[in-house]
């Protein structure tokens, strides 16, 4: 739905109650650059492939005090300091959590992807994506019977929608054939689908490399799909 949650407030409230906070930034971090120190978050995770990086590699940030407290989740080469029959001492951070041969190529490529995003600039990315979001929202809402889910003021550049009486899957299939890739289905978020009493939605996501012309193609494709399916 793209809603930007007030994580700074959430973290502050949680900390007051003595709870640690893990933020899953997989969806947001290609759009919003997190300031981990300012957020004072305990853990932050993200996935490289959401940031133009390779698949199968991600990142876990954790406060040093937490990481020192946590036991290793896996054993293997490079993660021990000393092993005797009496006891095993683990290597320091980050080696304790990096057993065996790491995904070296994946790590290097992930770094290159982040450098690439930084070279474009997150302010520029944000400005461009918001323009696309605003334009696409305006254009899509001209289609009769189209309903957008997630209309918060503070949102990232995704639009989840349905057209009255049409299954999202059908719209997705037609739009796909017209050259536009959208996600259809419940997006692994069945509780919210149950809340709205819908089988799923069509979701268009806009990134820094998308253009207004592509938004036009999307709108045209959705109109065509509506015509075919009603």
Helix then strand then coil, in percent of the chain rounded to 5, is: 45, 15, 40
Which string of DSSP letters, residue by residue, matches 96-137?
A: GG--SS--HHHHHHHHHHHHHHHHH-HHHHHHHHHHHHHHHH
Kindly state the helix (H) or strand (E) to which residue 37 belongs, with its residue range. helix 36-39
- Binding other proteins (rule: CB under 8 A), the pick from 126, 131, 170, 214 is 170
Q: Which of 87, 188, 191, 213 is catalytic?
A: 188
* Least distance to other proteins, CB of residue 203, Å: 13
To other proteins, the closest distance from the beta carbon of 158 in angstroms equals 19
Using CB under 8 A, which of 27, 141, 173, 217 touches other proteins?
A: 173
Whose Cβ is closer to other proteins: residue 60's or residue 228's?
228
Counting contacts by CB under 8 A, is residue 205 touching other proteins?
no
By C-beta, is 156 or 184 nearer to other proteins? 184
| Angstrom distance (rounded) from CA 148 to CA 160 | 6
Question: Measured between alpha carbons, how far is 183 from 192 in angstroms, rounded to an integer?
Answer: 16
Least distance (Å) from other proteins to the CB of residue 186?
9
End-to-end CA distance of the chain: give it in Å, rounded.
26
Q: Which is nearer to other proteins, 114 or 175 (CB)?
A: 175
**Spatial contact of 129 and 157, defined as CB atoms under 8 Å apart:** yes
Nearer to other proteins, 136 or 171 (CB): 171
For residue 45, what is the enclosing H or E element? strand 43-47
The span from the CA of 175 to the CA of 14, in Å, is: 43
* Min separation Cβ 24 and other proteins, Å: 23
Q: Which of residues 178-197 bind other proteins (CB under 8 A)?
A: 184-185
Q: Going by C-beta distance under 8 Å and a sequence separation of 6 or more, which residues neighbour residue 223?
A: 143
229 binds other proteins, rule: CB under 8 A: yes
CB of 169 to other proteins, least distance (A): 4
Binding mask 82-121 for other proteins (x = CB under 8 A): ----------------------------------------
188 in active site: yes
Indicate if the alpha-carbon torsion angle 193, 219, 137, 134 is positive or negative: positive
Mind telling me the catalytic residues? 188
Q: Using CB under 8 A as the criterion, which residues of the chain lie in contact with other proteins when the complex forms?
A: 166-167, 169-170, 172-174, 176-177, 184-185, 199-200, 228-229
């Amino acid at each position: 739905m793209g809603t930007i949650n007030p994580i700074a407030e959430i973290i502050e409230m949680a900390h007051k109650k003595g709870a640690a906070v893990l933020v899953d930034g997989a969806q947001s971090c290609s759009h919003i650059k997190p300031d981990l120190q300012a957020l004072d978050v305990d853990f932050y995770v993200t996935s490289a492939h959401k940031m133009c990086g390779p698949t199968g590699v991600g990142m876990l940030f954790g406060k040093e005090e937490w990481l020192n407290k946590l036991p290793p989740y896996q054993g293997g080469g490079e993660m021990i300091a000393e092993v005797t029959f009496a006891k095993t001492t683990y290597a320091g951070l980050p080696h304790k959590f990096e057993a065996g041969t790491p995904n070296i190529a994946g790590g290097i490529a992930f770094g290159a992807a982040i450098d690439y995003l930084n070279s474009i600039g997150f302010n520029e990315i944000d400005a461009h994506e918001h323009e696309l979001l605003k334009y696409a929202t305006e254009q899509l809402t001209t289609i009769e019977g189209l309903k957008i889910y997630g209309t918060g003021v503070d949102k990232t550049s995704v639009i989840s929608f349905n057209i009255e009486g049409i299954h999202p899957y059908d719209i997705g299939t037609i739009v796909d054939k017209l050259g536009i890739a959208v996600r259809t289905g419940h997006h692994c978020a069945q509780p919210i689908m149950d809340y709205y009493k819908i089988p799923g939605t069509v979701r268009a996501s806009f990134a820094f490399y998308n253009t207004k012309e592509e938004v036009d193609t999307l709108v045209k494709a959705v109109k065509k799909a509506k015509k075919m399916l009603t």
